A and B are shown apart, each in its own frame.
Chain A
Amino acid sequence: DIQMTQSPSSVSASVGDRVTITCRASQGISRWLAWYQHKPGKAPKLLIYAASSLQSGVPSRFSGSASGTDFTLTISSLQPEDFATYYCQLANRFPFGGGTKVEIK
């Protein structure tokens, strides 16, 4: 089975900081990786699909990239509304990553 290892599990950052979250697949995979933002009491929100495509309506400070089995979500300049938990998922028949909680420093 393919496993997705997401890191870090949490990060403390300030408004304006650049934040990078990584998911590593246990074996070579396609680019069908998506990133989601999840806030307490709300449904998860799609940010990035196909590793690097920005979902419509999502601010351009969010970006995704892929290199081999490593996938990265970058928030270029953290905004107050970005404090949340972020998950990766390879395609949609596979487990989600463990999540990264972005907290206020």
Chain B
Amino acid sequence: QLQLQESGPGLVKPSETLSLSCTVSGGSISSSSYYWGWIRQPPGKGLEWIGNIYYTGSTYYNPSLKSRVTISVDSSKNQFSLKLSSVTAADTAMYYCARTDYSYYYMDVWGKGTTVTVSS
């Protein structure tokens, strides 16, 4: 059974870079059938798609975050990662990683999420 697990610091200082990893177990991140992506939910707000990566390294980002986001994949570790630069308090959120079907674009497997707080 495929599982995703987010990891990374729970507290990041303003203006610094938020870095999270998502470890995939029970399946290969190099499958041609899926994208791998990040979604977040700020406190009291709705879901926001951050971006996706394909195993080839092709990336797709939310235009509103594109200038600050980098998603990368490490097939040797079966992991993909998120970096969000120049964070502010507005980036405080629950961050989820998820698997996305390549053909129908739905997210069918999600990590449990990890809370990131931006504060000095």
Contacts and interface: CB of A to CB of B under 8 A. Distances in A.
Contacts, number: 66
B112 to A, nearest CB: 6
Interface residues of B, number: 23
Contact of A34 (B46, B63, B105): B105
B48 A95 contact: yes
A11 interface: no
A96 B49 CA distance: 7
Interface residues of A, number: 26
Of the candidates B63, B106, B108, B111, the one having the most CB atoms from chain A within 10 angstroms of its own CB is B106
Given A43-B112, A43-B113, A46-B108, A92 B46 contact: no
Interface of A: 1, 32, 34, 36, 38, 42-46, 49-50, 53, 55, 85, 87, 89, 91-99
